[in-house]
Chains A and B, each alone.
Chain A
């Protein structure tokens, strides 16, 4: 199944996105721990775009595509900011918890099985995050409309 959502560049939308993701993942039988990981990585990615990529930018929307396959969940996040060049070292090394943040990309890498960036034309970046599905043992514990 594939789902699409467009949000505006406002941090208040982060919770709405999680509320959009959760029921779709639960209905598809994605296990509870994986649902949490996908919500976390997506929130971190969107917050990064809003706080950094879109800071001082006229860009105002972000497109999200959720694909749920039998073996894989994929979240693709398309922004329209200046192309982003990630620093692989920053994303894989475990930073010390700090008041200044800097953990977002590390958390995305830890929460998901695969993270990649595709430069888009004429501007922007598509972030693709994939999470391999695991046998669900506790799906009934997560209620689609619990939040």
Chain B
């Protein structure tokens, strides 16, 4: 799994590529924790390059969402492929996290 960071005006976008499973989810958690430590608390996790995610990815996203909220920020996700969307539906993660088609849509109301 690879993570590319893109600093936009209103948020930082994490462009993820590759699978997120128990061997790689800690890498996502570390990346977001570093950003939160730098005061970057508005985050968009772009999953359009992720074909596979398991429960460890779900747990990481929930943890990072709660940490960003605690830091008075927010964490949104976008670009879900079919398999990841099915996992979000199965685990009801879409009730907790705001999901958007792409990063531009995810940041739209932040820029107002």
- A interface: dominant SS: helix
User: Which residues from A are CB-within-8-Å of B87?
Assistant: 40, 107
Q: Tell me the smallest distance from the CB of B89 to a CB of chain A, in Å.
A: 10
Q: Tell me the smallest distance from the CB of A139 to a CB of chain B, in Å.
A: 15
Interface residue A44 (Cβ < 8 Å from any Cβ of B):
yes
Interface residue B71 (Cβ < 8 Å from any Cβ of A):
no
Interface residue A12 (Cβ < 8 Å from any Cβ of B):
yes
A18 with B59: CB separation less than 8 A: no
| Known A18-B52, A103-B59, A147-B51: A96·B21 in contact at CB below 8 Å | no
Size bracket, chain B contacts: 20 to 34
A15 with B55: CB separation less than 8 A: no
Interface size in chain A (residues, C-beta < 8 A): 30
Interface residue B54 (Cβ < 8 Å from any Cβ of A):
yes
A47 with B58: CB separation less than 8 A: no
B91 with A97: CB separation less than 8 A: yes
Interface residue B62 (Cβ < 8 Å from any Cβ of A):
yes
In the complex, A110 Cα to B58 Cα: how many Å? 15
A141 (CB) vs chain B CBs: closest residue: B82
B29 (CB) vs chain A CBs: closest residue: A99
User: Which residues from B are CB-within-8-Å of A110?
Assistant: 90
Interface residue B23 (Cβ < 8 Å from any Cβ of A):
yes
In the complex, A15 Cα to B51 Cα: how many Å? 12
Binding site for B on A (CB under 8 A): 11-12, 14-15, 18, 32-33, 36, 39-40, 43-44, 47, 50-51, 94, 96-104, 106-107, 110-111, 147
Closest 7 CB pairs of A and B: A99-B63, A11-B23, A103-B55, A47-B22, A36-B83, A101-B59, A97-B93
A sample of 20 inter-chain contacts (CB < 8 A) reads A11-B22, A33-B82, A36-B82, A43-B22, A44-B55, A47-B55, A97-B58, A97-B91, A99-B59, A99-B62, A99-B63, A101-B56, A101-B59, A103-B58, A103-B59, A103-B91, A104-B54, A107-B87, A111-B90, A147-B51
Query: Given A44-B55, A47-B22, A97-B62, 6 more contacts at CB 8 Å?
Result: A39-B52, A51-B22, A98-B59, A101-B58, A103-B58, A104-B54
